[in-house]
Amino acid sequence: MTAIEASSSGGEGINPVASVIGIILILIAIAITYSVAPPAALAALIGVIVGGLLIGFGVHFVPVGGAPAAMGQSPGIATGVAMLAAGAGLAGLFGGAWAAANPEFGFAIVIASGAIGGGLLMAITCLMVNIVYIFGMGIPAASGKVAKDPITGDTQEAYKSQGTEGHGLPFISYVGGVIGGLLGGAGGTLIYYELLKLYSALLPDILTADVAQIMPIAVSLAGIFAIGMFLVNAVLAAYNITGTIEGPHDPKFKRFPRAIIGCATASAVCGLFAILIVVV
């Protein structure tokens, strides 16, 4: 068994003690918010938690091959999980924030704009990755984790180079990457949008200024917290993946429930501090 095979078995179950502690932390964060902050803050915290778990879930879809992918030793995009997921999510946040600045647009349009921004980055990146593999290195895409592509039905084994785990970006990985970008962009934008609404409601009283004057501060604060929480959740999910993942067909994908609990807990605690800076 090679090192890559050894690390890709996946599928460890959920640790019940750790999960219970995580859920208790989430409940404590919600209780503190409920007791010290106005009702709008509770809605914001729930939004932040949902955004965090969307990011954590989305990261598992992104096909990342790390250094082995850069040598054509394993399928996926040749970069780190947290890096790529953060790149996609932040591009989504850019689109979502732009839509949020337009007062005519409601919740659904803002979140959808963020999702499409992330999906677009992944769609273009995945295509260019395959172009470099196919036209720059002469390698067709082949997966090492499944015999047939679950979407197209293409067989994989015959196209795999000797001594490798596969290479390139099979179609299922491409679709997984786009789904990951959509979820990440939506999650990041949700965190930003909920915090922005809360800050623009509370900051005018705290700073004794009108809404137009505090908007640059509210946007900057919400943006910084959204970027920060994006990185927190992407890195947490990356620890769950440990290195490389091909996409939704990879056995490691089944580990996502652990990451969801972890990301929700981390987001609850981070979200609590993001709310407390304007409440206490």
DSSP 38-86: -HHHHHHHHHHHHHHHHHHHHHTTS-B-HHHHHTTSSSSBSS-HHHHHH
Shortest gap between Cβ of 251 and other proteins (angstroms)?
Answer: 19
Q: Which residue has the tokens 């997966």?
A: 143
The residue among 66 and 271 lying less far from other proteins, judged by its C-beta, is: 66
Instruction: Indicate which single residue of 10, 140, 150, 251 sits in contact with other proteins (rule: CB under 8 A).
Output: 140
Q: Which residue has the tokens 């900057």?
A: 220
Query: How far is residue 52's CA from residue 39's CA, in Å, rounded to a whole number?
Result: 20
Query: How far is residue 92's CA from residue 116's CA, in Å, rounded to a whole number?
Result: 7
102 touches other proteins (CB under 8 A): yes
Instruction: Name the residue among 80, 46, 47 with its Cα closest to residue 62.
Output: 80
Instruction: Indicate which single residue of 39, 103, 153, 216 sits in contact with other proteins (rule: CB under 8 A).
Output: 216
Give strand pairing partners of 142. Answer: 167
CB 179 within 8 A of CB 208: no
Residues 227-256 that bind other proteins (CB under 8 A): 227
Q: Which stretch binds other proteins (CB under 8 A): 13-21, 37-45, 108-116, 256-264?
A: 108-116
Q: Which residues contact 272 (CB under 8 A, 6 or more apart)?
A: 29, 32, 33, 45
First to last CA, the chain: 56
The residue among 12 and 157 lying less far from other proteins, judged by its C-beta, is: 157
26 touches other proteins (CB under 8 A): no
Shortest gap between Cβ of 85 and other proteins (angstroms)?
Answer: 9
The residue among 22 and 87 lying less far from other proteins, judged by its C-beta, is: 87
Q: Which stretch binds other proteins (CB under 8 A): 1-9, 17-25, 45-53, 206-214?
A: 1-9
Distances (CA, A) of 178 to 58, 132, 165, 181, 190: 10, 18, 22, 5, 18
The residue among 116 and 260 lying less far from other proteins, judged by its C-beta, is: 116
Residues 151-210 that bind other proteins (CB under 8 A): 152, 154, 158-171, 174-175, 178
Number of residues forming the site for other proteins (CB under 8 A): 87
Shortest gap between Cβ of 277 and other proteins (angstroms)?
Answer: 17
Angle at 62 between CA 58 and CA 66, to 5 degrees: 135
Instruction: Indicate which single residue of 31, 124, 211, 277 sits in contact with other proteins (rule: CB under 8 A).
Output: 124
Give strand pairing partners of 155. Answer: 148
Residues 35-94 that bind other proteins (CB under 8 A): 66-73, 77-80, 83-84, 86-88, 90-91, 93-94
DSSP classification of residue 161: P
Instruction: Indicate which single residue of 37, 59, 97, 146 sits in contact with other proteins (rule: CB under 8 A).
Output: 97
Shortest gap between Cβ of 24 and other proteins (angstroms)?
Answer: 33
The residue among 22 and 65 lying less far from other proteins, judged by its C-beta, is: 65
Instruction: List the structure tokens of 140.
Output: 């067709």
Shortest gap between Cβ of 201 and other proteins (angstroms)?
Answer: 17
Q: Is 167 helix (H, G, I), strand (E, B) or coil?
A: strand
Shortest gap between Cβ of 14 and other proteins (angstroms)?
Answer: 30
